[in-house]
Amino acid sequence: MNALYAPAWDLRGRAQQDASRHDKLIKEAIRKNLKDVISREDIIVSDGTKRIRIPIPYLDQYRFKYGHPLPGAGQGPGVVGDTLWHPGQQPGSGDGPGDEPGEHGYDVEVDLETLTKMMLEELSLPWLEEKPAARDIVRETYQYTDRRRRGMPGNLDKRQTVKENLKRNAAKHLPGVHDFVDEDLRYRVPDVHYERRSNAAAYLLMDRSGSMTTVKKFIAKAVCFWLMRFLRLKYQHVEIVFIAHDTEAEIVAEQDFFGQGEGGGTRCSSALTVAFQQITQHHPRARWNVFVWHFSDGDNEIVDNALCKARVESLLQECTMVAYGEILWASDWAMPSTLATTLRQIQHPRCLITVLRSKDDVRGALQAFLGAEVGK
């Protein structure tokens, strides 16, 4: 049928399909850049309410382009996706100003909640156990079980819409799929389901000693920031405790945890001791699932390593999981510290240790800490 005479619904349906496809392409483009996006400083230091501008390339549609005829014929094996250009023309090279167009893009805005969902949608707190607690975690899940005649264009249920069209046409003794009208449209509507899980408490421990440079602290803050965003987005009732330490440790407010400077020596056992005392007093294992994440560069007093190992072993008796992230910024050649080596001697499936060597490792650390359950 000529597009000029296409039914109004058909034109609208095409527009809806184009809009849905465009949104999907944008999300895919953002996902490809997540490694860079999640380590941006303007996001980490934000209050969680601002919208984030993310540059993405233009999403061109596939089309044929006529080029200049080249002499001769191509030779040799080719690979699908190879880029062809005029002989002697090297993209992005040469002296002097360029005379060829570059790649252009535009900025899209997403809120922090959407960005968190895209990054951590498949992750969850591991090893959650049922606890006889007074207050439970309420986890929100969305299931598209209902169908209605009105909804968002991207939620159009094509299969059900075709079925409704078939039924309506059959009632008129005009079998087949044709002449769609608004009456045929069916949209998937999300139903919110609340899954009750046991209480959870999260302890975020961070080294603020002098050896923790600005870049190292930023990497630690980035992981802690996304852990905090994940917990608050996915679970309604989770208590988060922030502990900062050098040679001494203290419980601090959230804004102080992410805004404090560095200085002093390092005694990692001080933070583990404060966490253990707080957990046994306020979050006993009989009633709580407790998760501990500790971040440091591992530049710890050697005599303190054995005490750290003992504290972690004690925490594993009280906690659901204990994780240690060691930050070795710009040290690809460096071996893990003596602290990490000592902690690796602990043979326990819920004691997780990972190394972060750059900002690119932030997402990998999150996946290691919140990924598949091991040894359940």
Residues 235, 110 within the same domain: no
Task: Report the Cα 338 to chain-centroid distance in Å.
Answer: 31
Asked if residue 179 lies in contact with residue 6, where contact means CB atoms within 8 angstroms, the answer is: no
Instruction: Provide the b/e sequence for 149-162 (b: ≥16 CB within 10 Å).
Output: eebebebbbeeebe
Please state, in angstroms and rounded to a whole number, the distance separating the CA atoms of residues 167 and 145.
21
Please, what is the Cα angle at 237 between 234 and 239, to 5 degrees?
105
Instruction: Let me know how long the chain is.
Output: 376
Q: What is the predicted pLDDT for the residue at 373?
A: 46
Q: How many domains does the chain have?
A: 3
pLDDT tens digits along 99-146 = 555 555 566 677 777 777 766 665 666 766 666 554 555 666 667 777
Structural domain of residue 279, as residue ranges? 198-370
Q: What is the predicted pLDDT for the residue at 293?
A: 96
Q: Is the pTM of this model over 0.95?
A: no
Q: What is the predicted pLDDT for the residue at 55?
A: 65
Please state, in angstroms and rounded to a whole number, the distance separating the CA atoms of residues 223 and 214.
14
Q: 163, 195, 227: which is the final residue of a domain?
A: 195
Q: What is the predicted pLDDT for the residue at 335?
A: 79
Q: Tell me the two tokens of residue 309.
A: 């190992």
Residues 38, 181 within the same domain: no
Residues 210, 236 within the same domain: yes
Domain annotation covers residue 233: yes
Segments in the chain below pLDDT 50: 1-6, 134, 332, 372-376
Q: Tell me the two tokens of residue 224.
A: 């802690």
Domain annotation covers residue 286: yes
- Residue 190 backbone zone (phi > 0: left; psi -120 to 50: alpha; other: beta): beta
